Amino acid sequence: MRGEVDRSGDAAALAEQIGPRLSARTGGLYRRLADEIAGLIGSAELPVGARLPAERRLAEALAVSRSTVVAAYDELRARGLVDSRRGSGTTVARSASRGRSRTDKRMPAGYGDSLFHRIAVGPGEVISLTYAVDPGLPELTDELTALAREDLPALLDDVGYHPRGLEVLRERVAEHFTDGGLPTSPDEIVVTTGAHQAIELVTRMYLRTGAAVLIEQPSWPGCFDLFGAAGGRVVGVPLDDAGIRPDLLAAACAEHSPAMLFVMPTFHNPTGRLMSANRRRQVAEIAAKYGVVVVEDNAYASWDPAGPEIPPPLAAYAPDEAEVLTIGSVSKAVWGGLRIGWIRAPRPLAERLARHKALADLGSPLIDQALTARMLPRLTQLTAERARTATQRKKVMGQLLTERLPDWEWQEPVGGSALWIRLPDVDARVFAQVALRHGVEVVAGRAMDPTGEHDDHLRVPFAYPEPVLADAVGRLAAAWRELRRHGPGPGVPLV
């Protein structure tokens, strides 16, 4: 598994890049396809001389007829953007770069592109199941009003720069960890702008070009881009029901001498599995034996009181010589717009992380931190209520899928907000293109495991109101019928 991929001539990669946008355009499908490819030509994705996928392969990846791709390529040739030669295929023409500004920067290529595209442009008329988010908790309104009345004057007198984080928030985070079974002091906490920045800061501190980083397989799509951008070499380690497999983890440590291990012990994304207490101890001991820094991301730790007990963070099981950094956030539990996270690390590491944080942005927004500090003492209560809602939605989603798509397979997750579904004998990327034409966007398994071992999987969130879930499953069922009836080849009707 690698962090960077050569996309030249890769039909599946190009389909992932442009597929989500085809459904947002109007007009003939071939012209929409030509317009989307034209938009990439001259950029890092399709530079001058890059080879376009063979017509038949791109048609299969997009689940359209070959004649649609042929017509789109003809349109691009007519615009002078591509050249075609017998035996050499279709390539981006040298003249295509004329007139494109060098400042025309697009989102860098990476496995997370299709996932993050909908976040950037908004859902439109498509039901986007690419990410699982809830609206902000209603308690935020009262807390924000109280903050403005009680705390804002003192905050406005503050200098405003706190790279380590607002002191009262670090105290509350430390109490939160201590209550959860991991004794922590405020000077072991660094506040970040969400869990995403926490991972980025740790990556900046530990990864060097060519260094290996071990991850669970499958894993969160964003880590491929983050670790790859730092020059890291990503190596996947498979899971079982208790978490990352210790035998394969030890073997990977011995073979690759990794700089870092990134895991999601509590409600792993995308499988929703919960790493057992014994497995957490095993992972910590293996990492200590091989001198590997462990980064645990527990941003999905909302807990349903009716479910299984959540063990303390992995750091609680680590031997003294281990280096374990624990990441948390309120973005999933409280509101995605409240971009506050944190890293819990031994004091010397926390000081180093604070220096990286100062270089990044001098400190996260003070009012957001103060609001989080007010919410944090009730975080377990608030997340429990949200988790109960998620459990009910998970049940509804399972019933809908069982009724409408009985040949789909999944293992019920312990927690989290999505189902990890296996499609029988189908590349999920192909199905995702058909689903888009039916107005629903899903994430194919390749985004979460670039090795290809989960190409037949989909991540399908259930963090939506029940009417939306019913509508989404209805569209998925219609797309599945179309794919089963026509297949991904020339028989697929033009849209």
Q: In the predicted model, what is the mean pLDDT of residues 421-440?
A: 93
Considering the domain boundaries, does residue 151 fall inside one?
yes
Helix H or strand E segment including 255: helix 246-256
The CATH code of the domain that includes 57 is: 1.10.10.10
Considering the domain architecture, whether residues 220 and 125 belong to the same structural domain is answered as: no
| Mean confidence (pLDDT) of the chain | 87
**Domains identified in the chain, total number:** 3
pTM, two decimal places: 0.80
Considering the domain boundaries, does residue 103 fall inside one?
no
The reported pLDDT for the residue numbered 24 is 57
Tens-digit pLDDT profile for residues 157-185: 999 999 999 999 999 999 999 999 999 99
Is the pLDDT reported for residue 316 higher than 90?
yes
Instruction: Look at residues 380, 413, 430 and tell me which one is the last residue of a structural domain.
Output: 380
The reported pLDDT for the residue numbered 118 is 43
Considering the domain architecture, whether residues 77 and 183 belong to the same structural domain is answered as: no
Is the pLDDT reported for residue 360 higher than 90?
yes
Considering the domain architecture, whether residues 175 and 119 belong to the same structural domain is answered as: no
Considering the domain boundaries, does residue 492 fall inside one?
no
Considering the domain architecture, whether residues 281 and 174 belong to the same structural domain is answered as: yes
Cα(281)–Cα(273) distance, integer angstroms: 16
Considering the domain architecture, whether residues 168 and 242 belong to the same structural domain is answered as: yes
Considering the domain architecture, whether residues 343 and 398 belong to the same structural domain is answered as: no
Report whether the peptide linkage leading into residue 218 is cis, meaning its omega lies within 30 degrees of zero. Answer: yes
**pLDDT class of 471 with cuts at 50, 70, 90:** very high
Cα(80)–Cα(398) distance, integer angstroms: 50
Strands 260-263 and 212-217: parallel
| Residue that has been written with the tokens 């091989």 in this structure | 290
Considering the domain architecture, whether residues 340 and 454 belong to the same structural domain is answered as: no
Is the pLDDT reported for residue 124 higher than 70?
no
Q: In the predicted model, what is the mean pLDDT of residues 200-225?
A: 94
The CATH code of the domain that includes 193 is: 3.40.640.10
Report whether the peptide linkage leading into residue 270 is cis, meaning its omega lies within 30 degrees of zero. Answer: yes
Considering the domain boundaries, does residue 494 fall inside one?
no
Phi, psi (rounded to 5 degrees) for 457: -115, 155
Tens-digit pLDDT profile for residues 67-119: 888 888 988 988 889 998 877 789 999 877 654 433 333 333 443 444 444 44
111, 340, 338: which is closest to 236 by C-alpha?
A: 111
Domain of 302 in residue numbering reads as 139-380
Considering the domain architecture, whether residues 324 and 187 belong to the same structural domain is answered as: yes
Instruction: Look at residues 72, 97, 122 and tell me which one is the last residue of a structural domain.
Output: 97
Considering the domain architecture, whether residues 145 and 126 belong to the same structural domain is answered as: no
Instruction: Look at residues 355, 380, 405 and tell me which one is the last residue of a structural domain.
Output: 380
Tens-digit pLDDT profile for residues 220-251: 988 888 999 999 999 999 999 999 999 999 99
Considering the domain architecture, whether residues 334 and 207 belong to the same structural domain is answered as: yes
